[in-house]
Amino acid sequence: MKAIENRADVQLLVTEFYKKIRTDELLGPIFNKAISDWPQHHEQLTDFLESQLFFVAKFKGNPVLKHIQVDAQNKYSIAALHFGVWLNYWFETLDALFEGECALRAKNRARNMGSHFYLKIYQARPQ
């Protein structure tokens, strides 16, 4: 086991994590419908996570808006269960590959982001 130290480590984490997501019975159909260019998505997510974990300004985008759009495309069906399954895969992938302070930060950030994204999705739904 090693610490998350650089972009290559983050890219490995993203790639291994999304292998699981893409084949999951619950999450796979949602992600595979929303993402047409997986290599580009991996790069964007690597930028995002690098920004979150190493406090560098690399990511440009609006992940909350993207999640709101994906929820709408799925007839407002994204539920807390989806985020729970996503988080379990995240923890599982982190635990298989990395240890240390940065891995713990990745877990905490994911937990907070999942709650935040779900709340924003719910608030954006039509009444």
- Which domain range does residue 83 map to? 7-124
In 37-100, where does DSSP find H-type helix? 38-54, 63-73, 80-97
Note the pLDDT of residue 94.
98
Residue 1 falls within a domain, yes or no?
no
For position 18, which CATH number holds? Answer: 1.10.490.10
How many whole angstroms separate alpha carbon 101 and alpha carbon 82? Answer: 26
pLDDT bucket at 127, cuts 50 / 70 / 90: confident
Residue 19 falls within a domain, yes or no?
yes
**59 to 8, 48, 52, 72: CA distances (angstroms):** 16, 5, 9, 24
Note the pLDDT of residue 59.
87
Residue 104 falls within a domain, yes or no?
yes
Residue 2 falls within a domain, yes or no?
no
Using one digit for the tens of pLDDT, what is the confidence trace for 66-93?
999 999 999 999 999 999 999 999 999 9
Burial annotation 91-125 (CB, 10 A radius, 16+ → b, else e): eebbeebbeeebbeebeeebeebbeebbeebeeee
pTM score of the predicted model? 0.94
To the nearest whole number, what is the mean pLDDT of the chain?
96
Note the pLDDT of residue 93.
98
Three-class SS state of 98: strand
pLDDT bucket at 58, cuts 50 / 70 / 90: confident
92-118: average pLDDT: 97
Residue 72 falls within a domain, yes or no?
yes
Q: What percent of the chain has pLDDT over 70?
A: 100
Residue 76 falls within a domain, yes or no?
yes
29-52: average pLDDT: 95
Residue 29 falls within a domain, yes or no?
yes
> Domain tally for the chain?
1
Residue 30 falls within a domain, yes or no?
yes
Report the run of H or E that residue 78 belongs to, with start and end: none
